[in-house]
Every structure is written in C-alpha cells, then in structure tokens.
A and B are shown apart, each in its own frame.
Chain A
C-alpha cells in the first residue's frame, strides 16, 4: 500500500549534466539565445502568412472588445431596464446584445479558422524544407544515422511544433493584450498598489526560470529518446526475417524495453516539472491577493486609498494573474515545440552538398572518357579502402572490376558517382575533374544498377519508369523485355499495374534485379554502372540479359562489377583489385596468359569441375 503512495516519487532521476543545470552566467545566456534563435526561425516561417496573421490579430482585438462590451450592456440592461421595467428598451438592448454575441462568436471562429491554416501551412513548409534538405545532404550523413531517428524528426518533432502553433499563438496574443489592458487599469486606479502587485513578478520569473531550465532540457531529452526508440523500431521491423528465424524476439523486446524506459524517464520528469507551472502561478496569484488586501487595508486605515479602490483593485489583480498564468502555460508548450524545432533545424543546418557547388561546372555533353589518377580513399579516414588507383576507360569501353570481397570495388563506383570524394588524387570525366562538377550534373550522364535493388511502393510500371520519368508505356515495356522481365510481369495478376507493397512480398530478389536493370536501360546514359547487377539472377536468364546489356553497353562507357567471371569476359579491360589496390590489369585473354590471380580465379571453377 505504502509502495503505491511512494511509487510516483521514485522515478529515477535523469542525468541532465549537473554542470549544465547549475550553469554559469555565460552558459545560461547562451542557452536563452539559442531559444531566441529557434523562435525567430519559426517566426520567419509564420511571417510568410503575414496578411492572415494580421487578420487573426484584428479578430483577437475584436473578440476581446466584444467580450468586454457584452457584460457592459447586460449590466445596463439590468440596472436601467429590468429594474425600471422598461420592456421596450429591454427588447432593443437584447437585440443589440444578440448582434454583439453573434459578432463575438464570429470573431472567435475566424481567428481560429485562419490560425489553423497559418499554423498548418507553416508546419507544411518546414516539413517540406526539411525533406528537401535531406536530399541535398551527402551520403556520409546517412551512413551515420538511423532511419527511424530521422523519420521521427519529420513526424514526431514536427507534431510538437504543429500543436503549439495551433493554439499558442492566439493564446499568447490574447494574454499579452489582456495583460496590457489590466495593467493600464491598475496603474490608473493606484500606481502604488500596482507596484506592490507587481512584486510577485520577480518570484514568478525566478520560479519560471527554475522550471524552464529543467523542462527545456527534459523536452529535448524526451524528443531525443523518442527518436532513438523510433530508430530501434524501424531497424527491428526491417530485420523481422532475421529476428523470427533466429527466434530472437525476446532479445529485441529487451532492447526495446531499455529505450522505452529511457523515454519514460525523460517523459516523466518533463511532464511532472512542466506541470508545476500552473500550480505555481495559482499560488502566487493568491499570495498577491493577500498582499493587496493586507497592504491595502493598512493604506485604507491611513486614508491613503478608498476601500472601493481596494475592492476593485483586488478584482483586477485577479484578472492580472490570469493572462500571466496563461502565458506561463504557453511558455511551457512553447518549450516543447522549441525542443522539436531545434531537432528539425539541426538537420537543416547540416551543410549540404548542393549549395557548396554553386559556381561549379555543369557537364552538358559527356562522351564518357573516365580517368582515375592516383586515387586514394578511406571511409573512416584511417587506413585506406582504396589506394593509389589509376586507370583510363576510353569512350565506349567496358571496364570490369574483379576481386575478393572488401577489395574496394563498390567504393570505386561510389567515388565515380561522387557519393564520396577521394582523399587524394583526381577523377576526370572527359578530362574534367569531377570534384569541380556539380554532382547532379555528373550523375545525369550515368545510370546505375546498384547492389541493393530497391523497389518503391507502387506499380511495376512506375518502378521501371523511375529511370526516365517521361518514358511512354511502350518504352517501359520495351525496357522490361530487354531486361527479360516482361514474361514474369505478364504472369502477374495485373501485369504492369501490379502493386508492389512495402515488404515486396511475392517478388523475388532476382526479379527485383531484373526490374532494376530495366529501370537503368530506360535511362539511356553515357556511362553505365552495373554493381553486381545480376548476382541473384539465375545464369540462364543472365545469359539472355547479357546480350541485351552488351547491346546497351555499345558506344557507352560501362563499369561492371561481377563475381561470375563469365559475365565479364567481353570487357575491354579487367581490373583485378585486392585490398584496395590494382594488382592486375588487362583483357580476359591477356590476364589468362599472365597466369596470375585472375587466371587462378577463373580456372578454379573449371578445374574443380573437370578434376
């Protein structure tokens, strides 16, 4: 029983870095500036709907005005018409009231009506900007982050911003308006008492500081933990097949519990402490009333003030704290929005790979002459993934990379497409250093069949058309036929319009590769890159595609990675890579004659069979 009482106070404390919490003067101001910066940025988005925002403001003014006017007329009606039994005037007054009430409701309706639109437009713009920015970020950025964590920023964090904008803007404006109004009246009634009433302001500021210093961080921690949880969910969902077959459900549930607990911890403290605000305001409110009554009483005794003023004043003091209370509450909501927005902006502030190339070259026509000159590169900046690679692929040549796994074959292609830039050396296309060429302009001339063949949710047709968006249906089918995909597609229930769902159920890995090839065929590039394009396709089908690919590669510079050596025999040049270095180079026949690594590799197949 006692345990149930104490449970809520036994939540583990969250470590918010002692140093940050206590904070030196310098740190706190920096933190405040941080908020200001974030708020300013949100404001900039809001300000895009300036006209509507002004309309909302006007409506807030009007509704406040009508809200005051109504009771005023009610008062007159009672005092003058009901007491005097003047039915005719009462009828007029009621008619007037009806109009005022209607206008009041209309003003309230309109301010929300417009504000919802403004808020959602702002959220929409921010979301779109974030998404577009994501696409401008370089590949290494994505290597380091979990997908689910990034996804959380686009949904959960944006949700925080959205919730706040919907309600807070109106609330804040209305509160400020009432605050100004009441303070003016209070000043008019008694500057001295006003001053005394305002004495609670420092206490309020102090309390708010104590709370927000914590909640600001806690909200951030909560959003971060939520993002991490999301990342974990995403990863375990995409690894379901492994989890199930290895019956590791318990293990992932345990991992989930861990992150879930972290989230609960941050969530508990964020919610608890932010819940203090209205309570604090309420208490201060009552205190101020007691102070006014006490001090006012003393003043009245010495005739410094009339009793009537104290009574009215006490009433206003009450009104004075209500908007303050609202403001304090909104401030809290705002903090949670800021926590979300900060995470959104932090991605937007990641340097993108597009704008840093403003004055770089556009490649217009590419013949397809590719040269690597002493290119070295490593992913982790320690050790070399590829070392001092040099070669030239002349226009129309086919170049194959061969070598054991981890030799750096895919890395070469990543460098050519500028997913990464080399640490040393240069890569040129038609004699132009590609590090001086805009990435998209470079990729425009290339078509890829990547190792992981990915299909989007949608129809088969849409997926093939991804290679060239304006391709006609006939062209799509033509490409599918060339890639040997046509027959299995026509076997499907809806043919080219068959839907592919997120799990890709019912489509085999090999069929996915066929579709990827069709997609690349449609693109019609100057440079063609095939990275293990046929690895999951059976060899008979592969042979058929090979013909199509040969035809396609004619006149184009092509790069091919394959483990099945028979698929690259026709290549003009074969580069044998080992541990990031070119150890052999030449045509199939030349390399066989050399009796080196390649010949070894090639014969190992036949030899074993024959032997």
Chain B
C-alpha cells in the first residue's frame, strides 16, 4: 500500500520514464547485436583475410556503438530528470504535509525523524529510480533472453534453467521483504542519531557549562553504535545474495553437465548443445550479479517509501471544518470560553477544567497563576493549535472550529514565551507578521514594541542579520522583536504569553501605553503585578481552573491568593502600604 503511494509520484513523469526505458532497450539491442558483428568481423573478415569486410563491419560496429552512446547519454538526462523531479516532488509534498500537521502529529514524528525522512529517505528513493531507469530492465531481460535462447538449443537441458529461475525468484523476494524490514530499523536508528545531535546542538551551552561532553559522547556512541549494528545486520543479509546466486547457478552448471552427459550417451543432446547451454548459464550468472545491487537499493527504497508514506498518510486531526460558512471575518475580537476542558493528546489528565470567561472587544485581560496552572495551555486554544475535548470557544460569537484556520489566525497576534526568531534580517523577521508591510509599518511596530531605538543604532539597522536563535541579540531584545512581529499584523486579538518578562518596568510601561493605540482585545499572561494593575479584568488560575476574577482592586480585597502574589512582589511593607490607602 505504502510503496504504492510513493510510486504514484512517478505518474507525472510517465512519458520520461517511457523514453528512458526505450533508450535502455536501444542500448540493450546494440549490446546484443555487438557479438554478431564481432563474429562477422572474425569469421568473414579476419578468417578470410578480407580487410574490406573488416573495415565495413568495423565501421558499422563503430556506428552502432555511437548510437548506443548517444542513447546512453540521452538516457542519463531522462533518468536524472525523472528521479530528481520525483525527489523534489516528494520533498515538497512532505514539507507541505508537515506544515498542515496538528501538534499531536509532531509527537508522533519528532523533528529529527522528519528531517531524516525528507532528506535521507528521499535520497534513497531518488537513487533507486535513477538506477532502475538505467539497469532494471537489463538484468531481467538478459536472464529471460538467455533462458529462451537455451530452450531453442535443447529443451530438456534448458528445463534445468527453467526450474532454477523460480527458486531464485522466491529467494530474492523473500530476501527483499526481510531486508526491507531491516533497513526500516536502520532508518529508525538514523533518526535517533539525528535526534541526539539535534539535542546537543540546541543545548550546547548547557552541555558545555556542565562539562557533559563525555556523557553526551557516550549517549551518541550508543546511538551511533546501534545504527552500526543494525546496518551491518541488514547489509550482511543482503550480501548473501551474491554467494547464493553463484551457488545456485553453478549448481545448475553441474546439473547441465551431468544430464548433458547422459543426454550425449542416449543421443538426446550433442556436446555442442551442452557447451552452448553452459555458455548461457554463465551469461545469466553475470546478469544476476546485478540483482545483488538491485536488491540492496530496492529493499532500502521499500523501507524509505514506507517511512515517507507514513508521513504523507498521517491523519491530520485538526483541519478546517467541512461545513464552513463564507469566511466570517473577525471584526471585534470578542473571546468567549464556555466550560472548556482540555487535555494534551495522548495524556490522561485534564490540564484545563471547566474554564469559562469572556474577554470583550478592546478589553485588556491579565492571566495570573502558578507555574503549570494551565495558562499557556489555555492560550494555545485561542488560535486553535489544539482542539478542546469539552465545551466551546467562540470568537465574535462563532465557534473557532467553524472558522477557517487561516482567517482565525490572521486576526491573532501571538507572542510566545520563548522568542523564536528566524534566520534572516530584522526586516525579514518583521515580514513574518505581515508579508506586505511597508517600511513605515515596520518602523511603527518596532517603535511601539520599544525596540526601534536599539535597531537604529545597529550598524546595519533593520538589515542586521540575526542567527538561527537570534544569538547576537539579548533575551529582552528578542522578546521585543517578537512583540513587534505580532503588532505589525494589527490584530484584533493580541496574546502575550509572559512576553514582557525580560523587559524592565519602564520599558514595559511604555509598551503598554503604546498598545492603547491598537484597537484589539489583549490577553496577557504575566507574573508581574505591574502588568495586572491596569488590566480591565484579571483571571487567576490554579490547577487548570479559574479560581478568582475581577479588577486589581477587587481581587486585592477578595482573593487571598492574589494578596499572596502581591505580597511576594512588594513585600509585607507594600501590602501594609496598600491597606493604609484603602
């Protein structure tokens, strides 16, 4: 099934495949004619000492080989065209599919594994296609041709060959199946190696500061050794092809000799026929030795096809609903959670339990709560990164599951906890928020995010290139860029996931003031009281539930937990101070 999925990618190149195969047939024909020409040159020319015959057939032969050469070169173009385009299509399709993945798919296919599948596995298939279009036809045709020719020579003796072929075919099929499984295990080990490397690169500072070089080396060595053992196992199985083929074919030579001897005795065969048939057996052996190679690449390709098909056929369970109305644009940013419960796919515990609240258009809502109380989980539900298990989330009165993902997310500006910037210039990173943003818009967003002054001072300004993780910027600078990226969208809903943690209080205040000019509903996860004070509504979360809500002043009076948080930031004196005022 799965192999078929990958084979179907050859479809668009049917024509080129056909031409490539035809060209190999041309080559093959020339190759088969070649011995006849040689025989002619030797028998009619050299033997007869007739130089003109030699010259005539010699030039015919040269002509033929030039034709074969031309066919071969052209074949190279067509075969590469098919294989590289198929590889290209596979990669594109894989990448596109992965982009449509829901987060639950990612726990099924870790990044490192997806990377292996998109590069390493596709490479295997690419090489297989190229090889197939060049030699695949050749080996079977040579084998079949030899058997047919042998049948013409002497039916009884040739039966021996007819009998050996099925044995070999069964053996080769069995081997291919078995090797396919082994190679699948090999590719899984490549995933693991990839994974360890990826972790190590991401955590290089941590590893260096804890001096865990040797520990990591051991971990890597174990993964890499596993890969080695599995590879050796698979290859060793495959490498038995050659000796076995040799043994079977040589065995049939012995049989031909034995039965041939009897045949000569009883008059059923001539010595010449025995010689001829043995000649064909030798030729078959030569052609069959190519099979060893074919088996390797085919069983690898089989394993890789399955891995690719796994991704292509993966169920994406978070899609646009079928019964979508015409795109209901989000105009107000009215967010309503109604008895929402949620657990991460594949886990058993609810991280959110019966959550209900409403953020009215233009409101600023602060979400406060202990570490692990479900704040970020709740946030991710708004742009529908996950689907909920119970309840409904409505935006502008519309169930989020009914809104086209594109439209939903277009109106949301999300600033995640960890500021992830992409390789490229600052300007390019800003364009992530809005593709067609003008210079002015970029400047405005950077200014509002309180980072414009810093950027202007950089030698290359907004053309400054930032690294993979934005390494040459400080944590706070990255955070502000990531805020600017959200602001530039002019979203109707702005989500700040503790995104001001690295900002000092003054900068934060300026930022919050600048936000006032944006007409949007803002929800901010925060630890800082300074952020909550000006909020229209504060939600206090604990263990996946909202335990208190209200304004700063209300909560300060009613909620013991809120008082405790306040105290933790301003000390007892602060609390006393506040109480005096009230």
The answer to whether A109 and B240 touch across the interface, beta carbons within 8 angstroms, is yes
Task: Give Cα A311–Cα B35 distance, bound, in whole angstroms.
Answer: 12
Which one of A108, A566, A604 contacts B571 once the chains associate, using CB atoms below 8 Å? Answer: A566
Q: Is the beta-carbon distance between B422 and A239 smaller than 8 angstroms?
A: yes
A251 touching B435 in the complex, CB below 8 Å, given contacts A71-B282, A83-B271, A604-B509: yes
A511-B371 in contact (CB<8A): yes
Q: Given known contacts A272-B77, A297-B54, is B274 in contact with A82 (CB within 8 Å)?
A: yes
Give CA–CA (A249, B98) in the complex, Å: 10
Q: Which residues on the B side are within 8 Å of A74 (C-beta)?
A: 253, 257, 278
Could you pull out 23 A-B pairs where Cβ atoms are within 8 angstroms? A109-B240, A124-B228, A134-B200, A135-B207, A135-B217, A226-B119, A246-B489, A253-B96, A257-B92, A263-B91, A264-B85, A268-B84, A271-B79, A300-B49, A466-B210, A493-B347, A503-B106, A505-B344, A508-B372, A535-B501, A541-B371, A601-B504, A609-B570
Decide: B347 and A113 in contact? CB cutoff 8 A: no
A289 to B236, CA, bound (A): 39
Asked if A151 and B278 sit within 8 Å, CB to CB, the answer is no
Cα of A218 to Cα of B286 in the assembled complex, Å: 32
Do A314 and B38 have beta carbons less than 8 Å apart? Answer: yes
Alpha-carbon gap, A237 to B97, bound state (A): 12
Selected from B200, B260, B528, B578, the residue in CB contact (under 8 A) with A135 is: B200
**Is the beta-carbon distance between A443 and B209 smaller than 8 angstroms?**
yes
The reply on B205 being an interface residue by CB < 8 A is: yes
Q: Is the CB of A244 within 8 A of B201?
A: no
Query: With A and B bound together, what is the CA distance between A446 and B193 in angstroms?
Result: 30
Q: Which of A275, A286, A296, A605 contacts B62 (CB 8 A)?
A: A286
Complex contact A245–B228 (CB within 8 A): no
Q: With an 8 A cutoff between CB atoms, is A154 at the interface?
A: yes
Q: Is the CB of A7 within 8 A of B16?
A: yes
Chain B count of residues within 8 A CB distance of the other chain:
190
User: Which chain B residue shows the least CB distance to A493?
Assistant: B348
A246 pairs with B114, CB closer than 8 A: no
Binding site secondary structure of chain B: helix
Q: Which residues of A sit under 8 angstroms from B376, Cβ to Cβ?
A: 508-509
Q: Mark A81-121, 1 if CB is under 8 A from B, else 0.
A: 11101010010011001100110111011001100110011
Which residue in chain A gives the minimum CB-CB distance to B205?
A: A450
A146 vs B115: C-alpha distance when bound (angstroms): 14
Residue contact A4 to B16, C-beta cutoff 8 Å: yes
Contacting pair A275 B475 (CB below 8 A): no
Chain B residues near A106 (CB, 8 Å)? 243
B299 at the interface (CB under 8 A from A): no
Name B119's contact: one of A113, A156, A450 (CB within 8 Å).
Answer: A156
Using a CB-CB cutoff of 8 Å, which residues 533-580 of chain B contact chain A? 533, 561, 564-565, 568-571, 574, 577-578
Question: Among B63-71, B166-174, B307-315, B438-446, which stretch is in contact with chain A?
Answer: B63-71
> Which of B81, B349, B507 interacts with A11 by CB under 8 Å?
B81
Selected from B61, B64, B84, B502, the residue in CB contact (under 8 A) with A271 is: B84
Q: Are A450 and B577 in contact (CB under 8 A)?
A: no
Q: With the chains together, A605 CA to B571 CA distance in Å?
A: 12
B46/A155 in contact, CB under 8 A: no
Residue interface bits A268-279, CB-to-B below 8 A is 1, else 0: 110111011011
Taking CB atoms, residues of chain B closer than 8 Å to A120 are 228, 231-232, 235
Q: How far is the CA of A269 from the CA of B119 in the complex (A)?
A: 18
Instruction: Name the residue in B46, B202, B278 with the highest tally of chain A Cβ atoms < 10 Å from its Cβ.
Output: B46
Contact status B232-A117, CB under 8 Å? yes
In angstroms, how far is the closest chain B Cβ from the Cβ of A525?
10
Q: Which residues of A contact B180 (CB under 8 A)?
A: none
Mask of B345-373 contacts with A, CB within 8 angstroms, 1/0: 00111010000000000000000111111
Q: Tell me which residues from 121 to 143 in chain B have a Cβ below 8 Å from any Cβ of chain A.
A: 123, 126, 130, 134
> Which residues of chain B are near A609, meaning CB under 8 Å?
529-530, 533, 570, 574, 578
Which residues does chain A contribute within 8 Å of B271, judged by CB atoms?
78, 82-83
Per the 8 Å Cβ criterion, residues 30-53 of B in contact with A are 34, 38, 41-42, 45-47, 49, 51
Assess whether A264 is in contact with B247, with CB atoms less than 8 Å apart: no
Question: In A2-44, which residues have CB < 8 Å from any B CB?
Answer: 4-5, 7-9, 11
- CB of A454 within 8 A of chain B? yes
> Bound complex: CA of A172 vs CA of B63, how far in Å?
31
| Contact B372 A511, beta carbon cutoff 8 Å | yes
Interface assignment of B185: CB less than 8 Å from any CB of chain A? no
Per a CB cutoff under 8 Å, which of B15, B344, B467 touches A144?
B467
Pairwise interchain contact A245-B77, C-beta atoms closer than 8 A: no
CB pair A505 B103 closer than 8 Å: yes
A241 to B78, alpha carbons, bound, how many Å? 41
B316 in the interface, Cβ–Cβ < 8 Å?
no
* 8 A-B pairs with the lowest CB-CB distances in the bound complex, closest first: A405-B476, A510-B371, A279-B72, A275-B76, A286-B65, A8-B81, A112-B239, A105-B243
Which of A226, A245, A289 meets B383, CB within 8 Å? A245
- Check A235 for interface membership: any CB of B closer than 8 A: yes
Residues of A within 8 A of B474 (CB): 405-410
B341 at the A interface (CB under 8 A)? no
CB distance from A440 to the nearest CB of B (A): 5
Tell me whether B47 and A307 are in contact (CB under 8 A): yes
Contact B231 A506 (CB under 8 A): no
Interface centre among A142, A237, A310, A403, by most chain B C-beta atoms within 10 angstroms, is A237
Q: Are B68 and A283 in contact (CB under 8 A)?
A: yes
Which positions 246-301 of chain B face chain A at CB distance < 8 Å? 246-247, 250-251, 253-254, 257-258, 260-261, 264-265, 271, 274-275, 278, 282, 293
Residue of A at shortest CB range from B371?
A510
Decide yes or no whether A128 CB sits under 8 A from chain B: yes
B202 and A82 form a contact (CB under 8 A) = no
Contact A290 B58 (CB under 8 A): yes
Does any Cβ of A come within 8 Å of B498's Cβ? yes
Residues of B within 8 A of A72 (CB): none
- Does the CB pair A443–B210 fall under 8 Å? yes
* Closest beta carbon of chain B to A488's beta carbon, Å: 5
Assess whether B462 is interfacial by the CB under 8 Å rule.
Answer: no
A153 CB, min distance to chain B CBs, angstroms = 9
Interface-facing stretch out of B153-161, B321-329, B410-418: B410-418
Please, which residue of chain B has its CB at the minimum distance from the CB of A379? B472
Name the A residues within 8 Å of B27 (CB-CB).
282
Check A448/B73 contact, CB under 8 A, given A234-B111, A311-B42, A503-B103.
Answer: no
Any chain A CB within 8 A of the CB of B527? yes
Residue among A8, A112, A540 facing the most chain B CB atoms (10 A cut-off): A8
> Are A606 and B264 in contact, with the CB atoms below 8 A?
no
Which residues of chain B are near A192, meaning CB under 8 Å? none
Chain B residue contacts of A454, Cβ below 8 A: 202-203, 206
Contact check, B119 vs A229: say whether CB atoms are below 8 A apart.
yes
Task: Kindly supply a per-residue 1/0 record for chain B positions 110-122, scoring 1 wherever the CB is within 8 Å of any chain A CB and 0 otherwise.
Answer: 1110111011100
Closest to A285 in B: B65
Closest chain A CB from B295 CB (angstroms): 13
Residue on A nearest B489 in the bound complex, by CB: A246
Contacting pair A466 B115 (CB below 8 A): no
